[in-house]
Structure 1
Amino acid sequence: MALDEPKENDKIYENDSLKFLVEGSLMATCGGITVDFVDAGPRSGFGITSVNPINGGGGCSSGSCGSGGCG
C-alpha cells in the first residue's frame, strides 16, 4: 500500500472520498482485494486481504499496514 498517481494500467475504485488504485496485473493475480481500517489504539492501521494471497510480503499478502507502511 502506497501513495501514488494513477497510471495507464491502473484500475481505479472510489469509496466515499477515498480513491484506490490497483495495478491491473496485480488485480488479475490477487482477485478481489479488501482494505479495512483496524482500530487498535497505537497499533491502528489498514488491513489488506485478497481472494488469492501472495506470499513474500507487499502486494496482496494478508496482514496490516501500521505506522511503518506496507511491503
Structure 2
Amino acid sequence: MSRSGQPPNLKKYMDKQLQIKLNANLLVIGTLRGFDQFMNLVIDNTVEVNGNEKNEIIMAVIQYLIR
C-alpha cells in the first residue's frame, strides 16, 4: 500500500516484466498479468530466484499480506 492508504496503480505495469523481492531474499521475475484492489498479483512466465538457485514456474499468484 502507498502512504495515502490507497493501493498503487499497477495498470502501467500490465504485460511488462517485473522483479519482485519477497521475504527470505527470494526474487520473482515474470510478466504481470493481473492484480486486484488488495495488491494480489498474477505473474506469468515466472522465474523464482533464491541465491544461485532458479526455478521456472508457469504462473504464480502472489498474495499481499499485512503483518
Same topology, TM > 0.5: no
Structure number having the greater strand percentage? 2
TM-score, with structure 2 as normaliser: 0.30
Higher share of residues assigned helix: 1
